[in-house]
Amino acid sequence: MRRFSFASLLSEALGGHQGWGRQWRAPDPKPSYDVVIIGGGGHGLATAYYLATVHGITNVAVLEKGWIGGGNTGRNTTIIRSNYLYDESAGIYEHALKLWEGLSQELNYNVMFSQRGVLMLAHNHHDDQSFKRHVYANRLNGIDNEWLSAEECKDFCPPLSISPDIRYPVLGGALQRRAGTARHDAVAWGYARGADARGVDIIQNCEVTGISRDASGKAIGVETTRGYIRAGRIGVVAAGNTSRVMAMADVRMPLESYPLQALVSEPVKPVFPCVVMSNAVHAYISQSDKGELVIGAGTDQYTSYSQQGGLHITTHTLDAICEIFPQFTRMRMLRSWGGIVDVTPDRSPIIGKTPVENLFVNCGWGTGGFKATPGSGHVFAHTLATGEPHKVNAPFTLDRFRTGRLIDEAAAAAVAH
């Protein structure tokens, strides 16, 4: 892997940038690997990277049915934060946020991480109480979060309307200043480049069609559209398609898959300095480096594996955005898209072993998967390498749905993004 530096960039600039090689290889699958990871999104690529760098396991394959980052990794609204209520959730997202803060240097790849702050608006008495509870809980966990009055929210985000006459009046907000955004494509490319440089095979256009088991029931390999591959251990990191993949090993998962929509506006000059989220209306907004307003909504009401949703969902979101930020009413929307999110009953992820020996799963991130990417990959790599959970992901077992030790972020995590 050729490292990026000022000297290398200057050298290539003088040569018309004709000397850059491929960022990662395009290998054919080998007959067997120590670890096979199903899913070439951010979480899967991060897992492979940390298996190689932290645990020294390089005989690893990442199998992706399309192209890397073509699923939810490239379809989300890139919000990063760690201000979750429960200790377990705050622990894993804060673990991820600390990794985000040094990720560009770690990968030698600019992931465009911008700690511009995430402001969560309170529109009613319930929001006020809930977010103040978040602030106090976060402080106890050593996580930054502060309460702002409506006037302070306006000072932090000037486009915000704090008129008392709008449908969703702003009473105040909870601000995490260390939170922000990153470039989703760059995250996938950076992890892919780093993993490939350490010997990991990233195999695109390789769909898994079956998981084979021996007479004892142990997972021993995968059937793919590019042939059979034996595996010492298998990690499933397939987001909204996890339940389909796990069914190949006769494992039924407590998951539901929903479409989640987002859209962007025409590009304008810098006008929006932070990320703003609203639980009451399930809307959130930021501005990309290209100048587009990036807007997201809540999940659709019906389960589906479709990467598109109902028009009324985005229409409702835009109605609310235009009331809270009236100067955007004349903006034109440029494009919209959807992803497939996998949601657990308690809206918290599952990271760990399954009832099938040698088969591990990382799923259930719902609408909050992107922000967890480095932390999720780091702890899942530990789980795959050692066979036991990292202390950070130990509470997020599949077994909690049998014991009842749930981590109920359904109501506690605001809009869960």
What lies within 8 Å, CB to CB, of 57 at 6+ separation is 34, 35, 51, 384, 385
Q: Does residue 17 lie in a domain region?
A: no
Pick from 296, 328, 343: which residue ends a domain? 343
pLDDT for residue 144 is more than 90: yes
3-class SS string, the chain: CCCCCHHHHHHHHHCCCCCCCCCCCCCCCCCEEEEEEECCCHHHHHHHHHHHHCCCCCCEEEECCCCCCCCHHHCCCCEECCCCCCHHHHHHHHHHHHHHCCHHHHHCCCCCCECCCEEEEECCHHHHHHHHHHHHHHHHCCCCCEEEEHHHHHHHCCCCCCCCCCCCCCCEEEEECCCEECCHHHHHHHHHHHHHHCCCEEECCCCEEEEEECCCCCEEEEEECCEEEEEEEEEECCHHHHHHHHHCCCCCCCCEEEEEEEEEECCCCCCCCCEEEECCCCEEEEECCCCCEEEEEEECCCCCCCCCCCHHHHHHHHHHHHHHCHHHCCCCEEEEEEEEEEECCCCCCEEEECCCCCEEEEECCCCCCHHHHHHHHHHHHHHHHHCCCCCCCCCCCCCHHHHCCCCCCCCCCCCCC
Give the whole-angstrom CA distance, residue 369 versus residue 215.
35
Residues 172 and 188 grouped into a single domain: no
Whose tokens are 């109605």? That residue is 319
CA of 153: how far to CAs of 23, 158, 277, 327, 334, in Å? 42, 8, 12, 17, 28
Is the model's pLDDT at 334 over the cut of 90? yes
> Is 167 a residue whose pLDDT tops 70?
yes
Q: Is there a domain that residue 242 lies in?
A: yes
Determine the pLDDT at residue 417. 40
The band of 73, judged by pLDDT with boundaries at 50, 70 and 90, is very high
Among 362, 352, 363, 366, which residue's Cα sits nearest to residue 413? 366
Q: Given pLDDT bands bounded at 50, 70 and 90, which one contains residue 413? A: very low
The residue among 343, 364, 393 that closes a domain is 343
Spell out the residues 6+ positions from residue 29 whose beta carbon is closer than 8 angstroms to its own. 61, 63, 201, 203, 206, 224, 226, 227, 229
- CATH number, domain at 264? 3.30.9.10
Confidence of residue 324 (pLDDT cuts 50, 70, 90): very high
For residue 411, what pLDDT band results from cuts at 50, 70 and 90? low
Residue 224 lies in a domain: yes
Pair 337, 188 in one domain: no
**Whether residues 352 and 339 fall in one domain:** no
Domain that holds residue 261: 115-180+257-343
Mean pLDDT of 136-156: 97
Per-residue pLDDT for 94 more than 50? yes
Is the same domain home to 189 and 217?
yes
pLDDT one-digit tens code per residue, 218-264: 999 999 999 999 999 999 999 999 999 999 999 999 999 999 999 99
In a shared domain, residues 99 and 212: yes
Domain count, the chain: 2
Q: Flag whether 7 is in a domain.
A: no
Give the C-alpha separation, 118 to 317, whole Å: 18
CATH assignment at residue 196: 3.50.50.60
Among 190, 177, 47, 37, smallest CA distance to 110 is for 190
* Residue 416 is assigned to a structural domain of this protein: no
Tell me: pLDDT of 416 over 50: no
When pLDDT is cut at 50, 70 and 90, the band that residue 30 belongs to is very high
Task: State pLDDT tens for residues 352-404.
Answer: 999 999 999 999 999 889 999 999 999 999 999 999 999 999 999 999 999 99
Measured distance CA(208)–CA(228) in Å, rounded: 9
pLDDT at 223 (0 to 100): 98
For the chain, percent of residues with pLDDT exceeding 90: 86
Q: Is there a contact between 246 and 253 (Cβ–Cβ < 8 Å)?
A: yes
- Does any domain span residue 274? yes
| Residues 174 and 287 grouped into a single domain | yes
Do 239 and 289 reside in the same domain of the chain?
A: no
pLDDT for the residue 275: 97
Q: How far is CA 251 from the centre of its chain?
A: 24
280 lies in the same domain as 333: yes
User: For 110-114, 261-265, 308-312, which range has the lowest pLDDT when averaged over its residues?
Assistant: 308-312
Residues 74 and 211 in one domain: yes
- Tell me whether residue 411 is in a domain: no
315 and 170 fall within a common domain = yes
Residue 280 in domain: yes
Same domain flag for 37 and 104: yes
What does the pLDDT read at residue 231? 98
- pLDDT at residue 49 greater than cutoff 80: yes
Instruction: Mark whether 269 and 321 lie in a shared domain.
Output: yes
Given the DSSP bridges, would you call strands 201-203 and 208-213 parallel, antiparallel or unpaired?
Answer: unpaired
